Structure 1
């Protein structure tokens, strides 16, 4: 089987030689899915996984825009429409200088499995631009978003491709993008999710990824007779996902001691309570400040410049910042300090070495395609509300989100149980694969 995986990856590498993030995501899936395919005659000889790693469509376009000084800039825009076998393409838009084809293909590939796990009828896609919103005025961001959507509009639609937000794309950007789409197409449809509540958005959507990550961790802990309550939790990041993961941990009785950004991390041994979290939310969302400013407001806390929080003692770790932020050495530090549960809030935040370390020590470890699926699940619920022209209450959406995360957890156990141990990586990959693969087989070679 190792030879089959090696041959498969060699073929994928030939076509995607300069895309390390994408190859990393494919390797992780291949190691668990190819053995499953070999054991099930229905998939043998169909090259299902090889077809799944090839995007149905990869779009790249020029995005010219004018800054406040009248100077013209040019960025690249992308949309990867990965797989639509079970529904319209669904996945976020990321505006960040690091955006390139490799990162977006990895995110789109992960999205296929993540969306499948939700059981909602959504295919997988991802998009964005190397545009950096930081330091730009609202007018500059509006002009960029309008230019970006002027091209993207011809490739998306409520029954074709429904983008959402991601890093660098919040409610402000979604508003500008939707405004241009509505103008170009002369229609008001649920073509984007993450919209404002007054124009088709869903309650709980901003909170959903962070909440879902914690719900999944709680489900894992329950298999060991444990709860979040009373646990010390280390969180990386300080953006949307990290903020609401922290909020849910507090609601469930846990103690959050760290948050971070690209400048470093803060450690508050007294715990980041609701008032402190409110300060962080205002700092990051309204003032666009750095996490280091936390220690000026709360001097008992410590700030470590340029570091990551994985050396801090904890029971539960929630990596919620970005891909490959937690490596093998970090994983060993967490284990040495007593960590028993890791739930990924970001997309692929743990390197392969880190993942293998967690699996070798048989702690509770949830890959992002399972544990952070709450965001896209609630986007799917927003799509349903838009189609029905209804609006569900906060309690209704939260209850549906909780149910979806519980079902994803159950699917991971079904396909990932190895004796007394649950390999959630294997379970998530196979559970996500089966639904998409069955749909692809049913639809023929298309």
Structure 2
């Protein structure tokens, strides 16, 4: 028997969740993602019985297609390695499947399905015509040479290409897949198909079809959403102490926008530990360490003596006004959430995908801390990917300023949609419920219109 849902007593929803767990055994991250969404949907089924009659929730929890394949490649020393590749094409009701590729040893089907399921509703919230999907491999690019990564990407794309297309499925990057990997993947796709189909991958280089602000988009977008959330109570980032977990792409550009808006980033982290600088981190130094030197965040204290480094431990022990978890799933648990609340944190926004455990979310909501789920707060990345697709389709290239304005407009609209939907369903200020219902209803209406497929 599956664990009962927390947010609703709706028997139909309880039954569907138990069915999902039974049909997808061992995929704990996917179970968590499904529970987080459908636990909000009892009121929707009451208001729209046609969704239950058409089994919309059951259908949206079942991917349209799951692809698993072998990826053989050779090391620089001539050793043959075998990895496993995945692409889950989850839902195309609103447009072609859209979602990133993750290369990391932790990747297995349950991770890919959790990410793809989240992507359905995140993409719906952007207002862009894109469906939801996700993919990746258990390949670890860390410590591999450029030649090894190129050979892996070429082998990966040699299988995946047959499932892709600008009107079919459009991958992007994620953890372990940046501009280098996208370049190798696109080159192999172009070679195999003999087509310069620039809209088939996003996150490309600016000189060959990429979009300005794509690098910054997820981090910037999470801050734009948080700025709107703070504004509902008359607050802003000005003077706020902000803790941001991670020091990758999302974290760095979230920090950049926080500083631009008057906030003070007091702590960032990597997998080894975290650094604290109460007067505000020197972001240029962080960028040099992580983006140029590819070093560890501990190097920050070598030249910034006022700062301190903590190996291991929890970055959420650092007192702050705003927390932006931007590293990985389930990094912020109930204990950490309780510490943040006790230290006076007033707002939390997920820059990563599902970084807060369900228990942590309940702590924030019970304490009336403004909480933005990832499917809303970090939607800026995929929104800007869709803008890249627009530019590719029209053979156009926009300025940074125009692209950032479009991104901000989208994030403001996402906030308004979540805020207003929560109010409509009698839960003002509940961004989790607002995001889940708004995203689901948009997808559900499209699925009804398309018939039983």
Flag structure 1 segments of 5+ consecutive residues without an equivalent.
none
Distance 1:347 1:98 in 2: 14
Distance 1:140 1:127 in 2: 20
Tell me how far 1:6 sits from its aligned partner: 2.3
Distance 1:113 1:420 in 2: 19
1:56 corresponds in structure 2 to 64
2:110 aligned with 1:114? no
Pick the aligned partner of 1:410 from 413, 416, 430: 416
TM-score, normalised relative to structure 2: 0.96
1:260 corresponds in structure 2 to 269
| Residue pairs, 1:206-225, within 5 angstroms | 206-225=215-234
Tell me how far 1:297 sits from its aligned partner: 2.1
Distance 2:387 2:217 in 1: 11
Pick the aligned partner of 2:37 from 29, 33, 39: 29
Q: Secondary structure at the match of 1:265?
A: strand
1:250 corresponds in structure 2 to 259
Contact 1:242 1:321 in 2 (8 A): yes
Tell me how far 1:8 sits from its aligned partner: 1.7
Distance 1:281 1:77 in 2: 31
Distance 1:7 1:79 in 2: 28
Distance 2:11 2:306 in 1: 55
Q: Secondary structure at the match of 2:52?
A: coil
Distance 1:308 1:301 in 2: 16
Tell me how far 1:306 sits from its aligned partner: 1.2
Tell me how far 1:419 sits from its aligned partner: 6.3
Deviations 1:268-300 (A, max 9, x none): 11211xxx2122222212322111111112122
Q: Secondary structure at the match of 1:249?
A: helix
Contact 1:36 1:430 in 2 (8 A): yes
Distance 1:34 1:192 in 2: 37
- The change in CA–CA distance for 1:420 and 1:146 in structure 2 (over 3 A counts) is closer
| Residue pairs, 1:260-409, within 5 angstroms | 260-272=269-281, 276-409=282-415
- CA RMSD for the aligned pairs? 1.1
Tell me how far 1:2 sits from its aligned partner: 4.0
Contact 1:232 1:254 in 2 (8 A): yes
Moved more, 182-191 or 36-45: 36-45
2:441 corresponds in structure 1 to 434
Contact 1:38 1:44 in 2 (8 A): no
Distance 1:10 1:420 in 2: 26
1:187 corresponds in structure 2 to 195
Distance 1:444 1:119 in 2: 22
Distance 2:442 2:11 in 1: 26
Distance 1:166 1:84 in 2: 20
Q: Secondary structure at the match of 2:115?
A: helix
Contact 1:260 1:308 in 2 (8 A): no
Distance 1:34 1:117 in 2: 20
Q: Secondary structure at the match of 2:41?
A: helix
Distance 1:9 1:296 in 2: 50
TM-score, normalised relative to structure 1: 0.98
Q: Secondary structure at the match of 1:339?
A: coil
Tell me how far 1:420 sits from its aligned partner: 8.2
Distance 2:361 2:309 in 1: 27
2:430 corresponds in structure 1 to 423
Q: Secondary structure at the match of 2:242?
A: strand
Distance 1:43 1:4 in 2: 11
Contact 2:51 2:57 in 1 (8 A): no
Pick the aligned partner of 2:132 from 124, 127, 137: 124
Distance 1:441 1:324 in 2: 34
How many corresponding residue pairs? Answer: 443
Q: Secondary structure at the match of 1:42?
A: helix
Distance 2:279 2:177 in 1: 33
Q: Secondary structure at the match of 1:93?
A: strand
Flag structure 2 segments of 5+ consecutive residues without an equivalent.
1-8
Deviations 1:375-426 (A, max 9, x none): 0000000000000000011011100000000000011012112768410000
